[in-house]
Amino acid sequence: MKAIRKKRLSEIGAKEIKEYIKKEKLQSGDKLPSVAELVDILQIGRSSLREALQLLETQGAIEVLNGKGTFIKDIKPFHIKLAFEVEDEKDFLLEALEVREALEGKAVQLAVYAADEEDIQLMDEQLKKYVQFIGEGRRNEANSADAGFHRAIYRASNNPMLESMIDSVWETFHEFWNVPFGKDDIFDQSYPYHESLLQAIRERNEEKAKAAFFKIIKSVRDSITEINVS
């Protein structure tokens, strides 16, 4: 009998918000109700709602503007709708990693030449936030910062279709990547290679960027493979 993966309240809340957006026929650029209003509309706890909004922001579905509110982001030009019946989480993650390696590897290659100073600054900021949040024990925020680093690379590729394809796959895979096997620190060992990747992009050094990226992938693959699933 396969194990049934329990969904976290944040994931359930994110789904409810998406259903609300669809029901209300909201479009790109439209503003979502306030947190207090959404708590009342969706009948969800405030902390769970905030985690759900954070999850949606990581997925690129919404954008939070300080002092202005939460807005639906631009509709992507290319969207993949994927559905999986996941029976073996380890096999699924390893297969997903192969997809990520192909798509993100291309984004890294393009970003080496296309990234501007704003892109590089954003990558740097996300890595600094990751270190800060890990040190403060704020795991959800650290995961969002890590996601923000990778999304900055996708944006820096300057290829909207590639970025959109990665976003679509990311949204489907996110709930499995976030806390695989119930372990929230499983991928922390790959952090130093993120710094190496950023430095290589700064230097416009494609070979160093590829090497750093593949070290990230290898670290993640090793972490998944070494997990003992009973």
Query: Could you tell me which of 34, 214, 72, 64 has the C-alpha nearest to residue 141?
Result: 64
pLDDT at site 126: 94
Using one digit for the tens of pLDDT, what is the confidence trace for 184-219?
566 678 899 999 999 999 999 999 999 999 999 999
In this structure, are 46 and 116 located in the same domain?
no
* Residue-level pLDDT at 172: 59
Which of 206, 203, 174, 187 lies closest to 105 in space, CA to CA? Answer: 206
Q: Residue 18: which CATH number?
A: 1.10.10.10
* Residues 137, 198 share a domain: yes
Name the residue range of residue 144's domain: 89-226
Whole-model pTM? 0.64
Do residues 211 and 205 make contact, with C-beta atoms less than 8 angstroms apart? no
**How far apart are alpha carbons 99 and 153 in whole angstroms?**
16
Query: What is the tens place of the pLDDT at every residue in 81-123?
Result: 444 444 567 788 888 889 889 999 999 999 999 999 999 999 9
Beta strands (DSSP E) in the chain are: 62-65, 69-72
**Which domain CATH number covers 110?**
1.20.120.530
In a domain, 183, yes or no: yes
Kindly report which listed range (16-20, 165-169, 212-216) carries the lowest average pLDDT score. 165-169
